Amino acid sequence: MSYLNKAAMRSKTGFWPNNRGTILGIAAFAVVIAIVPFTASSSMMNIAVFSMIFALPAIGLSLLMGLAGQVSLGQAAFFAIGAYTHAILLQKFEMPGPVAAVGGVVAAMLAALLVGLPMLRLRGHYLALATLGLGFIVMIAVREWEFTGRTTGIYGYGRPEVFGIPIDNNGLFFWFVAPFVLIGLVLALNLTRSRAGRALSAVNDSELAAESLGVNTYALRVKVFTLSAGFAGLGGVFYAYQVQIVSPQVAEFHVSVELLLMVVIGGLGSVWGAVAGAFIVELLSEGLRDLIPAIIPGATGEVQLIGYGLVLILVIILLPGGLYQVVKTAWAAITRRRADAAAKPSPAETADGGSGDVPTRAFGGLPGEPPAGASLDEATDAAASAPRIPTVSTPVAAGEPILVVSGLTKRYGGVVAVDGVNLTVPAGQIMGLIGPNGAGKTTCFNMITGAIAPTSGTVRFLGEEIQGRKPHVGAEAGLTRTFQNLQVFSSTDVVGNVYMGRYRKGRAGILRGMFGLQGREQYAHEEIARDILDSMRLGDVAGLAAGDLPFGRQRMMEVCRALAAEPALLLLDEPMAGLSGSERELLAQLLRALRDAGLTIVLVEHDVAQVMALADSVAVLDDGVLIAHGDPESVRNDPAVIVAYLGTDAEEAEAELKELEEHA
């Protein structure tokens, strides 16, 4: 059965409902833009023009902070590179405006690529401080270089013309910039909701999980960083036109602070917020420049900085979500009041279910748990009707090796966690990997999936050596995993989590995402995600925030997410832990069905009885060494295994093992 066709048929989502917010917002903004030049005073018009110019780098910075989770303290550097390149191309090379503008944007993006490629490999503070350094380098370079006009800068180029009309006043210039801001807004909004945008917010929730689903975090971050610099460069282009002289001041650090402040005020990662922030900061700046010299006679220079510093600190401490958070809270309050008003006729109902979208956490049970009324019979009934299995891809004939691990070793200082493990996993089987606590199972697992690099040894998946590569490399080839400690994407709902599993099946990149040309693909994958959830009886909680699910169902959701990737090899790290009896039964049944459909499964499990019942072959690790490997029966009777599990006395141990199994 092809999921894609089915999804296309069932798709209820469409262009309008999905883009209503954006379209209405943009339309309203466009109306405001059209009116402003007729109503604003000349000083306000000046502020409005600069707000629009700075909105562009602010949008870029907001994408960087919201999506890539990184901050640039040198956004002004890219802004300056755009401005200088544009001005130089116009003045020294007499290029036509549009060409010079493209040059400005490209130059800024190239600079970002140069800094981003090395810096984005590192996590933490490095990008921020490297961009801060870049800001200084750019400022020093333009100040010292004859070509950039040293301290005087570049001037003497013409104003822009559109259809022969020179853009020579603030009103016209406002209209001149506005379309670019509007387009930039749409592109940025599209991007945040695109495949790449959703992947990046997943990375911010759990980098490991996202990478294990095939997300190449580094590449995406580099792209977003470059894009963000492109927005800054475009802003610089308009700045050069507007001020008619580009001097080293444009690269000054306080410009970067100003841009950062716009994003922080607007709300980290909110694109609309960044635009609103641009207007607020420009107004604030202008107001402070008038106000402070009035209060403190003789104050000159960048006096507005005092407001910037205060507002930055206060917003982060008191209102970390910025304006976006305020608007969201207010909107939620309004809709709740409306819902309350609608429910008024029956006051009893209001008291009970009036809280709208908030799931009730009364004694009836946690959200997402099966209704209390559902008896065990029903549950097993549903299980008996066998879960519909997602598509399984089998690139290797059954019995052929799909994963070959040889000499796999991990040392931490003097401690050998895993010591020379050799293991071949044939396609189409379930292999269990068991061992006592601390035997190195999860370490092994992490080396196979790329979460950690082995000290030595090789991991061949489908003939390709993948040891030491990032998790997304194996994931792209069809190796997917779940986690012992759940790695849930908590910023999205359940279906959003499973949708992320579809990442490797999608193709839309950042460009297609920005231009909104991936709607169909995205809906199709969301439909598949819903199908998988339905088949695993999680369909009723698809819309809940993933973090609100009870533990067992989060685990099932992770399995769904891994299956959504249509892997060739599924690695499950203690999938049974925390599941209820019926959930275990359902999962075991599903795994068998998947195996029969051709999927290869490796599971690390604590529950020996489960593994023995489920697996076609069992490998046993003890103290980092593989001590046994074979079919469940022979492993069960292997004296070494019994000793490893239960101490030195083999006979006693065997008895205990039996007891343990019976218990389970």
Amino acid at 189: L
Residue 125 in contact with another protein, rule: CB under 8 A: yes
Are 555 and 575 a contacting pair, CB within 8 Å? Answer: yes
From the list 114-122, 516-524, 561-569, 570-578, the region that binds another protein by CB under 8 A is 114-122
DSSP codes of every residue in 252-266? -HHHHHHHHHHHHHH
Token pair recorded at residue 393: 């891809």
Q: Is 488 in the site for another protein (CB under 8 A)?
A: no
| Residue 317 interacting with another protein (CB under 8 A) | yes
* C-beta of 141 vs 245, nearer to another protein: 141
Near another protein by CB under 8 A, which window of 64-72, 194-202, 572-580, 621-629?
A: 64-72
Binding segment for another protein (CB under 8 A), chosen from 89-97, 239-247, 294-302, 401-409, is 294-302
List of residues 6+ apart from 35 with CB closer than 8 A: none
d(CA 88, CA 245): 11
* Token output for 51: 């707000």
Which CB atom, from 27 or from 310, has the smaller least distance to another protein? 310
| Residue of 35, 38, 39, 51 lying closest to 286 (CA atoms) | 51
Q: How far apart are CA 436 and CA 426, in angstroms?
A: 24
The nearer residue to another protein, 8 or 313, going by C-beta atoms, is: 313
Among the listed ranges 127-135, 223-231, 466-474, 567-575, the one in contact with another protein (CB under 8 A) is 127-135
Nearest CB to another protein, comparing residues 141 and 625 = 141
CB of 602 to another protein, least distance (A): 27
Q: Which of 126, 175, 218, 515 binds another protein (CB under 8 A)?
A: 126
Per-residue H/E/C for 4-65: HHHHHHHCCCCHHHHHHHHHHHHHHHHHHHHHHHHHCCHHHHHHHHHHHHHHHHHHHHHHHH
DSSP letter (8 states) at residue 73: S
**Shortest Cβ distance from residue 9 to another protein (Å)?**
43
- Classify residue 220 as left (phi > 0), alpha (psi -120 to 50) or beta: alpha
Starting at the edge strand found earlier in the chain, the sheet holding 415-426 runs: 415-426, 401-412, 456-461, 464-465
Q: In this complex, which beta carbon is closest to another protein, that of residue 140 or of residue 183? A: 140
Within 8 A by CB and 6+ apart from 6, the residues are 527, 531
Judged by CB under 8 A, which stretch of 2-10, 25-33, 305-313, 532-540 contacts another protein?
305-313
Interaction residues for another protein, span 359-418 (CB under 8 A): none
Selected from 87, 105, 119, 642, the binder of another protein by CB under 8 A is 119
- Name which position in 17, 298, 345, 371 contacts another protein (CB under 8 A): 298
Q: Left, alpha or beta for 407 (phi > 0: left; psi -120 to 50: alpha)?
A: left
The count of other CB atoms within 10 Å of the CB of residue 617 is 18
Instruction: Tell me the CB-side half-sphere exposure of residue 129, using CA atoms within 13 A.
Output: 5
In the three-class reduction of DSSP (H, G, I as helix; E, B as strand; rest coil), residue 567 is classed as coil
Q: Using the rule CB under 8 A, which residue among 301, 345, 371, 414 binds another protein?
A: 301
Span from 98-106, 301-309, 502-510, 573-581 in contact with another protein (CB under 8 A): 301-309
Residues shown for the chain: 664
Write out the binding residues for another protein, residues 212-271 only, by CB under 8 A: 253-254, 257, 260, 264, 268
Interacting residue with another protein among 71, 276, 545, 568 (CB under 8 A): 71
Q: Which is nearer to another protein, 295 or 362 (CB)?
A: 295
- For another protein, how many residues bind (rule: CB under 8 A)? 52
Which residues in the 427-466 window bind another protein by CB under 8 A? none
44, 141, 452, 640: residue in contact with another protein (rule CB under 8 A): 141
Instruction: Say which residues have a Cβ less than 8 Å from residue 7's Cβ, sequence separation at least 6.
Output: 523, 524, 525, 527, 528, 531
For the record, the structure tokens of 206 come out as 């759990």
Residue among 76, 83, 115, 434 that touches another protein (CB under 8 A): 115
**Phi and psi of 407, rounded to 5°?**
65, 25
Is the Cβ of residue 119 or residue 528 nearer to another protein in the bound state? 119
Q: Does residue number 532 form part of the binding site for another protein (CB under 8 A)? A: no
Q: Which of 44, 312, 382, 511 binds another protein (CB under 8 A)?
A: 312
Which residues are near another protein by CB under 8 A?
Answer: 65, 69-71, 73, 115, 118-119, 121-126, 128-130, 132-134, 136-137, 140-141, 143-144, 253-254, 257, 260, 264, 268, 292, 296, 298-303, 305-313, 316-317, 320
